[in-house]
């Protein structure tokens, strides 16, 4: 199944509730929450406090927390306490990726690795059994509204092959520069969880979601 995973980063925060209500009405299941520390990436977004409030008001969303932070081990507990369902983090940000995965699993939550455009898939290979998600970054992390880096189609295809070869049912997530105009190509490359920020949270949010869902029908 292909799912839309709107990235809150692009939302007008003065209209947060209105926009989240629209997602809910449209049957969107996932919500992508980008946590940035101004260190691992040159930007700061929001953290556990905001996630907790969203969790409380919208228990139905699967909260997919993408941690773009150094030493994610320092913040994992508070992100889990806030109500995350999925945590993805960047392997470059910690000495012990596998230990973090174990910690997240010990709380009964899902865990994934997020790979920067230049990061090799190899870092997933030996821990594939423990991964619920591989997130392919199709932009350099830190900002919304960037252009899709075309070389990441190759990584998506290789990731899809790797998952198939190892009989893994991990989700293949793609994040950055995904829009209505390229989403079919991204799905054809193997992605099944589609993050989109600036192309969803604009003045036509309802019709944008409808158009994404219409495209997904061809695959689901």
| Residues contributing to the site for ligand DX5 (CB under 6 A) | 7, 9-10, 32, 34, 66, 139, 141-146, 175-178, 195-199
Q: Which two tokens stand for residue 45?
A: 């977004």
3-state secondary structure 90-134: CHHHCCCHHHHHHHHHHCCCEEEEEECCCCCCHHHHCCHHHCCEE
Pick one of ligand DX5, Zn ion, none as the site partner of residue 142 (Cβ within 5 to 8 A by kind). ligand DX5
Residues forming the active site: 34, 175
Q: Which two tokens stand for residue 117?
A: 């455009």
Cite the DSSP H helix spans in 5-96.
16-25, 48-57, 76-82
Q: How far is CA 8 from CA 28, 62, 178, 209, in A?
A: 13, 13, 14, 14
What is the smallest separation between the CB atom of 170 and Zn ion, expressed in angstroms? 17
What is the smallest separation between the CB atom of 34 and Zn ion, expressed in angstroms? 4
Pick one of Zn ion, ligand DX5, none as the site partner of residue 100 (Cβ within 5 to 8 A by kind). none
Which residue reads 């929001």 in tokens? 46
Pick one of Zn ion, ligand DX5, none as the site partner of residue 196 (Cβ within 5 to 8 A by kind). ligand DX5
Nearer to ligand DX5, 14 or 126 (CB): 14
Nearer to Zn ion, 132 or 175 (CB): 175
The only residue of 66, 90, 110, 155 in contact with Zn ion, by rule CB under 5 A = 66
* Binding interface with Zn ion (CB under 5 A): 34, 66, 175
């Amino acid at each position: 199944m292909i799912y839309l995973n709107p990235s809150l980063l692009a939302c007008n925060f003065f209209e947060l509730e209105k926009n989240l209500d629209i997602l809910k009405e449209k049957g969107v299941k996932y919500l992508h929450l980008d946590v940035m520390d101004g260190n691992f990436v040159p930007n700061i977004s929001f953290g556990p406090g905001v996630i907790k409030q969203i969790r409380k008001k919208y228990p139905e969303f699967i909260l997919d927390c993408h941690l773009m932070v150094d030493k994610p081990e320092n913040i994992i507990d508070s992100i889990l306490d806030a109500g995350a369902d999925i945590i993805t983090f960047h392997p470059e940000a910690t000495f012990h990726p596998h230990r973090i995965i174990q910690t997240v699993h010990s709380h009964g939550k899902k865990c994934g690795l997020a790979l920067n455009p230049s990061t090799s898939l190899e870092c997933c290979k030996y821990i594939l059994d423990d991964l619920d998600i591989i997130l392919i970054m199709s932009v350099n992390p830190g900002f919304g509204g960037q252009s899709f880096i075309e070389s990441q189609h190759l990584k998506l295809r290789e990731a899809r092959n790797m998952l198939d070869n190892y009989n893994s049912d991990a989700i293949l997530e793609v994040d950055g520069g995904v829009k209505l105009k390229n989403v079919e190509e991204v799905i054809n490359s193997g992605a099944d969880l589609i993050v989109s920020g600036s192309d969803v949270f604009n003045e036509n949010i309802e019709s944008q979601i409808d158009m994404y869902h219409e495209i997904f029908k061809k695959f689901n």
